[in-house]
Structure 1
């Protein structure tokens, strides 16, 4: 295997096979995440109100989120995070079950509730959905191999140009 062209092609071929499934997962989930604001199936659209000054208490936010049965929010332990958007006059309450409740920051009224898939898709994208170790031991090596594929692919692409240039210099 002293010929770098043969070695490069074999490396390229086997690297592509080794990273096919993890790369496909990253590619598809990345495309979905790029379009999350356009695809309401991925992430619910953000509602707006005319109120830009928050006046509701944390307890009112919890009480409002409790009124949505699908969200299954009873205590603060059922909430993953709050995403406060004062410019839009609302707060997103993200449940640990991926259900999102949007609440008016001035009145405490529920503006919308819907299932939020973007967090799950992000976990698939970085590999943590499969197993926490998958991020470091499967997806990171796949990314390094894909970088190597890019380098070897550029090399393979440039080979004919290099050969033509050498032929012209000799001829």
Structure 2
């Protein structure tokens, strides 16, 4: 759910230098889910176009404006240090999807400076849609980190 009230991200935000280009193969299920939404009659072409554009796109800093308009995430509403909300989101996700996400492992990775796959965002004619990386974005918000993301611009096609 997008925030409706105005929030200011911490001005002294820290860019996290350890974001890596995401492994698209490990996110193929999420990419297929988004193909079902934006191109239900043309999934194969959508995925091929997505992969082609991704192969020549670099990760970049997510702007505050982009983050505030990002669909399919609650991350913008996370406050600095709000681990309780993050834990609740992860537990809800694990319960409803039978997943086994470990928020503490991800938190430890951030704290120790390990490489973390950049979240993936789809840009369409209608806006920005988070494909993968909701927990990573929530962590960034809690740590007051400006994330790097991979924005796949398909606005000329979809």
With the length of structure 2 as denominator, give the TM-score of the two structures: 0.24
With the length of structure 1 as denominator, give the TM-score of the two structures: 0.23
Greater relative contact order structure (CA < 8 Å, 6+ sep)? 2
